[in-house]
A and B are shown apart, each in its own frame.
Chain A
């Protein structure tokens, strides 16, 4: 019983010591032509009310509703529709 415990303890100590010797990749793994940076979040994944002075309304996570909001916002640049 005692020897088994001793062996187990020795194995654990050895594993703990060896774990420090692991070699991890220190640099970015380069893949030619592929974006290497951090992922970006989508604009429609935010709550419309999360920013100050937001006038557009869409449903969080719904791309189509965000696009509709942007389309109507875009029309504000057309002064012919505003004037007529």
Chain B
């Protein structure tokens, strides 16, 4: 199996924030922490695009490189996880991450930071699988249940794909080949198919 990855199709994402909500609900993520969020560029103008962003589980993860206590590890499936018992909440990973994935709960007054929290690809953490301890610290372990991340599985437009990188890139490739590019992507033809008779004219009737 190749590495587990996320892939977000910007042509399909409708900025519904369903992935964000599903992640929060599945993992009971505390207030102030967003493991996943939807980023929109050119908001409100033609050409607007949205993309759902979380930890990208980098193959050469900068968070792993900068962690002073080496609390990060990579699983056999390529998922980047960390041990919260070891994390000191220094925030180095937050500065290193190009996606802003590491999040820090407010642990007290005066901006005191708690231990880092981030997307786990719904793979839990270094505790007994599907145990109460694992759920409390890291959230749901869907991979150990034979499932994929909830954000990708529940995405209504299937903009967000998650899983084995080979398979999801094949799905995306097939999709792009079918739908075409540029203006071919959008419009009546994409939604309802090509008209049976393109030369047909609308019936002329009296105006009401």
Task: Establish whether residues A77 and B171, one from each chain, have CB atoms under 8 Å apart when the complex forms.
Answer: yes
| Residues 44-83 of A at the B interface (beta carbon under 8 Å) | 45-46, 48, 50-51, 53-58, 63, 66-67, 69-71, 73-80
Which of A34, A35, A54, A56 has the largest number of chain B CB atoms within 10 A?
A: A35
Expressed in whole angstroms, the Cα–Cα distance for A55 and B148 within the complex equals 12
B49-85, CB under 8 A of A: which get 1 and which 0? 0000000000000000000011111011100011101
Task: Establish whether residues B167 and A71, one from each chain, have CB atoms under 8 Å apart when the complex forms.
Answer: yes
Number of residues from B at the complex interface, CB < 8 A: 42
Task: Establish whether residues A37 and B146, one from each chain, have CB atoms under 8 Å apart when the complex forms.
Answer: no
How far is the CB of A77 from the nearest CB of chain B, in Å? 5
A4 in the interface (beta carbon within 8 A): no
Contacts of A43 in B (CB 8 A): 77, 123, 129, 141, 143-144, 146
Least CB separation from A39: chain B residue: B126
| Residues 100-152 of B at the A interface (beta carbon under 8 Å) | 123-130, 141, 143-148, 152
Of B75, B158, B161, B174, the residue contacting A40 (CB under 8 A) is B75
Expressed in whole angstroms, the Cα–Cα distance for A43 and B140 within the complex equals 12
Task: Establish whether residues B73 and A67, one from each chain, have CB atoms under 8 Å apart when the complex forms.
Answer: no
B178 in the interface (beta carbon within 8 A): yes
B164 in the interface (beta carbon within 8 A): yes
Of B70, B129, B163, the residue contacting A41 (CB under 8 A) is B129
Contacts of B15 in A (CB 8 A): none
Task: Establish whether residues B167 and A37, one from each chain, have CB atoms under 8 Å apart when the complex forms.
Answer: no
Task: Establish whether residues B163 and A37, one from each chain, have CB atoms under 8 Å apart when the complex forms.
Answer: no
Task: Establish whether residues A40 and B125, one from each chain, have CB atoms under 8 Å apart when the complex forms.
Answer: yes
What would be 19 A-B contacts, judged by CB atoms less than 8 Å apart? A28-B86, A31-B70, A34-B70, A35-B70, A36-B69, A38-B127, A41-B128, A43-B77, A43-B123, A43-B141, A46-B145, A56-B147, A70-B163, A74-B171, A77-B152, A77-B158, A77-B162, A77-B163, A80-B178
* Among all A-B residue pairs, the 3 with the closest Cβ atoms: A56-B146, A37-B83, A51-B145
